């Protein structure tokens, strides 16, 4: 029997056994690990794998359009390029931020902060830049290999077609802030989404915003698109139809150019806002494009306060506009009649104090209707004393002064102030003196009003005594024209004054324009009733140069017999109301009632100033 070519020795045989045992144990360990990963933890790692190759993209819904009362588009959307970064595809945040910042010309720190804020949901892209230029978009596409996780998308961006026109009424949109994301009302929002922040954009955001869509995509190891897996289409927001009249708005803006203050036009029968000017203004398109920190700081530190919504937030002394209240209170209490006369030598003396008239030579003896037409201060000093501050304050409150109008608005509406002896004693710890009543009689002193309160009061005089809550949105419509929600007049109350008193107020206002200080508001072919006012201002600072001290007021309604429009104009630090504010109102009225059939020549002498 032949011997095998190899016969292991006992030593070698032992080594083989040990090696076999080690290999067997290793295989068993690998099998156990495989069983653990595939069976026990299989679902977890499958999910992790899917997340590493799946991405979810928000598809932002286009906001609804905003239209004026006749259907003219005021606010729409336009396409723009936005840059997103998916945190899951970023191995080194700081390095990626530097590379992205170099292309976008943005601070890397800001980009890194945005990426880290999105790491809680790494599969969801984070917005890092809006409104990038086409060359920048091309540069990003060219560097895609070196910019993993970076994508450029076309998105709808808000477009305010007339820039800063009616900006305070329309409001603006911007990205939802980190602070807002912590609030319950924004819990379903994602960072980078657009939301209405002020004005009707904010008030009706739930209607206008629409419902966002979603894309589910597969990406490769570098975050590049492989294929689309699923898409949920966005649903566009509803359209808003405002009460605003674009023709009147543009007329008011043009006539008020270069001035500071406010213009508000209202339909006296319904309370609908027809025009809303607050100057200086701002361009809401800046916010839609992501406002830089420097631009924001410039806006909020501007001494002219362009963000202030003057019609409802700025408070002014009403000046001679308050003479309408004094007249109403005097007639209501019987302290005055249309035939009540006072002499006006150009001044009035009370004790040791002399109160001047704006007409230095005086107006002579005036009855009530003449005194309103000529805005005689001396007459109303004495009329206020005879009527009494309590009656004046009561009628002022009847007309809505000293209280908020109740308009639906973003931001605090100022209530103004109607001072009384009780208020002065309680707040200032001082007694009420006859001199306080005298200066209140011409709208000076402690009394404060907003332009919106004044136009609401004038509308009530015009319509026969109904105080309306101002409103600015007529309806919400679908893209097919279906009415989703509709709004209408909201009468607050009837003013507690007799029809006879209200008619005398209207007659007095007619005399102002026909033969008094408001001649500059005449419109050929239309009877206009109005009232001028000039409020003295004591300036505490002079950071804004080139201004006089007085605010110029003018209020009006027209046509006289069946009013369709009430208007208030206040021009800050611009001079006499009859000179600077009345022509603005005339321009709006001419726009409302058609082109004038030839302009009357109106003298701007002393009698037309106040």
E strand intervals along 47-190: 54-59, 66-67, 73-85, 126-132, 150-160, 173-175
Chain-centroid distance, C-alpha 254: 20
- For 269-284, b where at least 16 C-beta lie within 10 A, e where not — what string? bbbbbbbbbbbebbbb
Rounded to the nearest 10 degrees, what angle do helices 108-117 and 93-104 cross at?
130
pLDDT in tens, 534-565: 998 864 444 454 555 799 999 999 999 999 99
HSE-up of residue 189 (Cα within 13 Å, Cβ side): 23
Quote the CA–CA distance of 413 and 122 in Å, as a whole number: 42
Indicate the class that CATH gives domain 55-242. Answer: alpha beta
pLDDT of residue 176: 84
- Enumerate the β-bridge partners of residue 150: 85
Q: Beta strands 66-67 and 239-242: pairing type?
A: parallel
8 Å CB contact between 338 and 369: yes
Element (DSSP H or E) covering residue 569: strand 565-571
Active site residue 133: no
What pLDDT, on the 0 to 100 scale, is given for residue 102?
Answer: 85
**Using omega within 30 degrees of 0 as the cis cutoff, is the peptide bond preceding 559 cis?**
yes
Q: How far apart are the first and last CA of the chain?
A: 141
What is the pLDDT confidence band of residue 24, given thresholds at 50, 70 and 90? confident
Distance separating alpha carbons of residues 219 and 226, to the nearest angstrom: 5
- Rounded to whole angstroms, how far apart are CA atoms 61 and 233? 9
Mean pLDDT of the chain: 88
Q: Which of 80, 191, 281, 320 is catalytic?
A: 320
Instruction: Please classify residue 27 by burial: count the beta carbons closer than 10 Å to its beta carbon, then call 0-12 exposed, 13-18 middle and 19+ buried.
Output: exposed
**Quick one: DSSP state of residue 471?**
B
Distance separating alpha carbons of residues 103 and 181, to the nearest angstrom: 29
Residue 93: Cβ within 10 Å count: 18
Under 8 Å between Cβ of 321 and 555: yes
Partners of residue 365 on adjacent β-strands? 343
- What would the mean pLDDT of 353-375 be, rounded to a whole number? 96
Token output for 295? 């631009």
**Does residue 97 surpass a pLDDT of 70?**
yes
CA angle in degrees (0–180, nearest 5) for 473-478-480: 130
User: Which of left, alpha, beta for 443 (phi over 0: left; psi -120 to 50: alpha)?
Assistant: left
Hey, where are the domains in the chain? Answer: 10-40, 55-242, 306-469+483-585+594-608
Q: Note the pLDDT tens digit of each residue in 439-478.
A: 999 999 999 999 999 999 999 999 999 999 999 999 999 9
- CB contact at 8 A, 248 and 586: no
CB 287 within 8 A of CB 300: no
pLDDT tens digits, one per residue of 175-231: 888 788 788 888 778 777 889 999 999 999 999 999 888 777 776 666 666 776 777
How far apart CA 144 and CA 139 sit, in angstroms, is 9
State both tokens at 414.
């100022």
Greatest C-alpha distance within the chain:
157
Distances (CA, A) of 96 to 115, 120, 140, 154, 477: 10, 18, 13, 22, 45
The answer on pLDDT for 383 being more than 80 is yes
> Which CATH architecture fits 306-469+483-585+594-608?
3-Layer(aba) Sandwich (3.40)
* Integer CA distances (angstroms), 446 to 401, 402, 439, 440, 441, in order: 13, 11, 9, 7, 11
Residue 482: pLDDT over 80: yes
Token pair 């009656």 is found at 391
Segment 244-263, tens digit of pLDDT: 999 999 999 999 999 999 99
Once rounded to an integer, what is the mean pLDDT over residues 322-330?
99
Structure-block tokens of residue 140 = 């990003």
- Residue length of the chain: 610
Q: What is the C-alpha separation between 481 and 466, in angstroms, rounded?
A: 33
Q: Is 313 exposed, middle or buried (0-12, 13-18, 19+ CB in 10 A)?
A: buried
| 280 prior amide bond cis, ω within 30 | yes
């Amino acid at each position: 029997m032949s011997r095998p070519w190899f016969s292991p020795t006992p030593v070698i045989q032992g080594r083989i056994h040990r090696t076999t045992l080690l290999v067997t144990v290793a295989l068993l360990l690998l099998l156990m690990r495989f069983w653990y990963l595939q069976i026990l933890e299989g679902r977890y790692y499958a999910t992790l794998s899917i997340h590493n190759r799946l991405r979810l993209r928000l598809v932002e819904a286009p906001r609804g359009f905003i239209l004026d009362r006749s259907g003219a588009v005021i606010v729409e959307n336009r396409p723009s390029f936005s840059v997103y970064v998916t945190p899951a595809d970023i191995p080194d945040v700081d390095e990626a931020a530097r590379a992205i910042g170099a292309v976008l010309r943005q601070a890397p720190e800001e980009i890194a902060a945005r990426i880290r804020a999105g790491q809680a949901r790494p599969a969801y892209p984070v917005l890092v830049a809006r409104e990038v230029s086409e060359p920048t978009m091309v540069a990003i596409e060219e560097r895609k290999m070196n910019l993993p996780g970076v994508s450029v998308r076309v998105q709808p961006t808000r477009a305010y077609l007339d820039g800063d026109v009616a900006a305070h009424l329309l409001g603006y949109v911007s990205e939802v802030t980190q602070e807002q994301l912590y609030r319950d009302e924004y819990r379903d929002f994602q960072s980078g989404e657009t939301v209405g922040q002020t004005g009707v954009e904010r008030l009706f955001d739930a209607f206008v915003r629409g419902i966002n869509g979603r894309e589910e995509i597969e990406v490769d190891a570098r975050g590049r698109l492989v294929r689309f897996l699923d898409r949920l289409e966005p649903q566009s927001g509803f359209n808003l139809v405002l009460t605003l009249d674009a023709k009147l708005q543009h007329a008011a803006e043009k006539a008020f150019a270069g001035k500071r203050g406010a213009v508000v036009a209202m339909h006296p029968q319904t309370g609908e806002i027809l025009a809303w000017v607050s100057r200086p203004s701002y361009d809401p398109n800046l916010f839609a494009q992501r406002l830089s920190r420097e631009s924001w700081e410039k806006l909020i530190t501007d001494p002219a306060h362009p963000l202030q919504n003057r019609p409802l937030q700025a408070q002014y002394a009403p000046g001679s506009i308050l003479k309408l209240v004094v007249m109403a209170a005097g007639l209501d209490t019987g302290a005055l009649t249309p035939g009540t006369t006072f002499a006006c030598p150009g001044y009035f003396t009370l004790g040791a104090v002399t109160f001047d008239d704006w007409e230095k030579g005086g107006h002579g003896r005036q009855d009530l209707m003449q005194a309103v037409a000529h805005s005689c201060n001396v007459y109303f000093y004495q009329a206020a004393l005879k009527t009494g501050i309590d009656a004046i304050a009561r009628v002022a409150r009847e007309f809505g002064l000293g209280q908020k109008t109740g308009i639906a608005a973003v931001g605090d509406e100022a209530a103004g102030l109607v001072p009384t002896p009780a208020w002065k004693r309680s707040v200032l710890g001082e007694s009420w003196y006859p001199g306080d009543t005298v200066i209140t009689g011409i709208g000076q002193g402690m009394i404060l009003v907003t332009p919106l309160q004044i136009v609401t009061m004038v509308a009530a005089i015009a319509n026969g005594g109904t105080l309306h809550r101002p409103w600015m949105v007529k309806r919400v419509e679908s893209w097919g024209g279906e009415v989703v929600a509709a709004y209408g007049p909201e009468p607050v109350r009837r003013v507690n004054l007799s029809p006879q008193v209200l008619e005398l107020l209207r007659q007095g206002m007619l005399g102002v324009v026909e033969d008094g200080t408001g001649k500059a508001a005449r419109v050929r072919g239309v009877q206009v009733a109005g009232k001028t006012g000039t409020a003295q201002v004591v300036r505490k600072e002079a950071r804004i140069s080139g201004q006089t001290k007085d605010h110029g007021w003018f209020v009006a309604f027209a046509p006289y017999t069946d009013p369709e429009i009430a208007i208030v104009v206040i021009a800050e630090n611009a001079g006499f109301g009859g000179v600077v504010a009345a022509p603005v109102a005339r321009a709006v009225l001419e726009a409302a009632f058609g082109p004038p059939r030839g302009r009357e020549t109106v003298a701007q002498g002393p009698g037309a100033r106040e």
